[in-house]
Structure 1
């Protein structure tokens, strides 16, 4: 019995040593990471599961890229679609997943450095040949764009969005959500919007029934490891009817999955 207890103590001691070494290793690696990024760096495999194979991000990319599990869900809605336009592509998290299941992706970002990072990351996943990377302003390019599905993941204003009790569409950048949606509708009625978890859902619903004709809408809560991370809104054919509870909003079918 004493020998068994001694072995158990030795085993526990080894486990503690391994855990301590792992923590020290993480601390050593994060020494070169800014305090703003450190939290997200520890979640790097949630952002890109192939992170160690050469993924690159800038500081803004760390807190603005869509977690891969959620990006995969967005892409699954577009399986087999012709052209998907990612209007604010950033470092490419969503564009990569769309490219894996769709015919083609147009990835737009106004920042050339982010486009360069997105191109690098697409190569890591082997989908660079399915994406046209464009450096430019979505709003200026919109009149010339043609696509089957349009993905809107505009800047939320940085991590400070969490401090707001109710995030309004006016807080989106570089234009308010209503103006942004109107521009998107001129390209296609099949729109996916990726928004903060604390977004005003009434405002989101208004986007649907203020359209002419009203668009089908589905509001989905996105979780990672059991925690609500964001809200995705599907409009037009991107919304589905077989899931969620149907409601009626001024003639538009609304499915709520939160």
Structure 2
């Protein structure tokens, strides 16, 4: 393949911006297995490692684990990871990618519906951190069609994330949330709160980590403007090169 062809996104022009930053997404991208959805939803490697280091305990449950970016980061930070992904093709990609980073032995990949009773019943009972990064929409930037992304917009199979958490093991909850999320619902919740921004100040996403019991008290909506000082109270801006 010519250098020019290598720099053209094989998934179409709508994904080109993500293709251009592919080596920031995975430093070993040239050997990785990636699909279009994985390309635009993947957490850049440096950011993934920064979030993963914050997990407490030694066992993490990664729901909607996709092609494995966050599961790999958690494993590289010493966690034993249970990774649940509904698409078996993406599970196969994640296993391959974990082998690239030599952490496949630390990740239990499961091709399963994260909301199914059979899946929930088979989860380890020693999970400490529950990481949730559910789909924000149906394609690149799809979430921006909503003025505000509410908690209800991030449901899995019709299950609110709070209700789903009641059925899951874990002592703490870690979330990655879109930049237009109704973060005012977290204003009165004790949590580690980070706004990941670019050097120019562009907001990429929000991160929050809190005790499971505190997340279960989160209201469905806040009534605050997402970018208002009241809504963003407690969030600290963080730039990762």
Structure 2 length-normalised TM? 0.78
209, 215, 233: which one aligns with 2:208? 233
**Cα drift, residue 205 of structure 1:** 4.3
Task: Identify if the C-alpha distance between structure 1 residues 85 and 132 changes in structure 2 by more than 3 Å, giving closer, same or farther.
Answer: same
Task: Identify if the C-alpha distance between structure 1 residues 108 and 28 changes in structure 2 by more than 3 Å, giving closer, same or farther.
Answer: closer
Are the aligned partners of 2:177 and 2:205 in contact in 1 as well (CA < 8 Å)? yes
**Cα drift, residue 185 of structure 1:** 4.1
2:235 aligns to what SS in structure 1? strand
51, 58, 64: which one aligns with 1:74? 51
**Cα drift, residue 123 of structure 1:** 0.8
Q: Distance in 1 between matches of 2:104 and 2:84?
A: 14
Which one has a larger percent helix, Structure 1 or Structure 2? 1
Are the aligned partners of 1:156 and 1:173 in contact in 2 as well (CA < 8 Å)? no
Task: Identify if the C-alpha distance between structure 1 residues 77 and 28 changes in structure 2 by more than 3 Å, giving closer, same or farther.
Answer: closer
Are the aligned partners of 1:153 and 1:194 in contact in 2 as well (CA < 8 Å)? yes
Are the aligned partners of 1:152 and 1:193 in contact in 2 as well (CA < 8 Å)? yes
Partner of 1:219: 193
Partner of 2:227: none
Partner of 1:183: 164
**Cα drift, residue 203 of structure 1:** 2.8
Task: Identify if the C-alpha distance between structure 1 residues 173 and 56 changes in structure 2 by more than 3 Å, giving closer, same or farther.
Answer: farther
Whose radius of gyration is greater, 1 or 2?
A: 1
Task: Identify if the C-alpha distance between structure 1 residues 31 and 228 changes in structure 2 by more than 3 Å, giving closer, same or farther.
Answer: closer
2:60 aligns to what SS in structure 1? strand
Task: Identify if the C-alpha distance between structure 1 residues 114 and 31 changes in structure 2 by more than 3 Å, giving closer, same or farther.
Answer: closer
The CA RMSD over aligned residues, in Å, is 2.8
List runs of 5+ in structure 1 lacking aligned partners: 1-23, 209-215, 240-253
List runs of 5+ in structure 2 lacking aligned partners: 215-232
Task: Identify if the C-alpha distance between structure 1 residues 31 and 233 changes in structure 2 by more than 3 Å, giving closer, same or farther.
Answer: closer
The answer to whether residue 91 in structure 2 is matched with residue 122 in structure 1 is: no
Higher relative CO (Cα under 8 Å, sequence separation at least 6) belongs to 2
